[in-house]
Amino acid sequence: MTIEDAVRRATALDGVLLTRIGDFTLEAPHKVFSSIRAYLIRRADETCVENNPWASLKFTTASKGVWLIAIGPTIDDGDTPDHFHFDSGARLSFGLTLQDDGNRSRLVSFRYQYNLPNGKSPSFLRFDLNRALHENPLTEPLCHLHPGLEKVRLPLFLHHPLEILDRIFFVVDKNL
């Protein structure tokens, strides 16, 4: 086995994911936003830490027919009041880009960054869906997880936005 074989396998995996993305539709962007807002309001009600998804969750147009749903900074450079904060001391920020497709939408990209509390390892988990294929899918898969290391990207299959939040809230944070 060679590095070229590994790159071919990674390219094939990205091809499968690209097909899945083409077939993957969500509700209309405003309905996705409403579902995420309701989800975060429910989670905020379950925490002791003050969170205000009504104010922190943003729904903006990025360009004609392209919508951004975000909470906190899309690139996490440190704690802000706009993050979603957990009782564990962790914080969450994310950005999700949708392409309007009539009464449905298509997932363009996402970045969910869950920063664990100080002293925990790994320091963060980041779930990314890139807008486009990278020239080397072995080192930069189309959809991937950063397990606390910026330059390490493990392939990840496509998930509904709420499924990623489920894993963060009900699996990762509950096990700190």
Number of domains making up the chain: 1
Half-sphere exposure for 102 (CA within 13 Å, toward CB):
1
**Tell me, what's the pLDDT at 172?**
97
**Tell me, what's the pLDDT at 62?**
86
162: which 2 tokens? 């709420």
Judge whether 27 and 106 are in contact, CB under 8 Å.
Answer: no
Domain range for 39: 3-175
List the one residue out of 67, 71, 77 whose CA is nearest residue 150.
77
**Tell me, what's the pLDDT at 143?**
97
Phi-psi region of 28 (alpha: psi -120 to 50; beta: other; left: phi over 0): beta
Phi, psi of 144 (to 5 degrees): -155, 170
List the one residue out of 70, 122, 77, 114 whose CA is nearest residue 96.
70
Judge whether 161 and 168 are in contact, CB under 8 Å.
Answer: no
Tokens 């564990």 sit at which residue? 88
**Tell me, what's the pLDDT at 128?**
97
**Tell me, what's the pLDDT at 40?**
98
Q: Hey, what amino acid is at 105?
A: S
Positions of the chain with pLDDT lower than 50, given as ranges: none
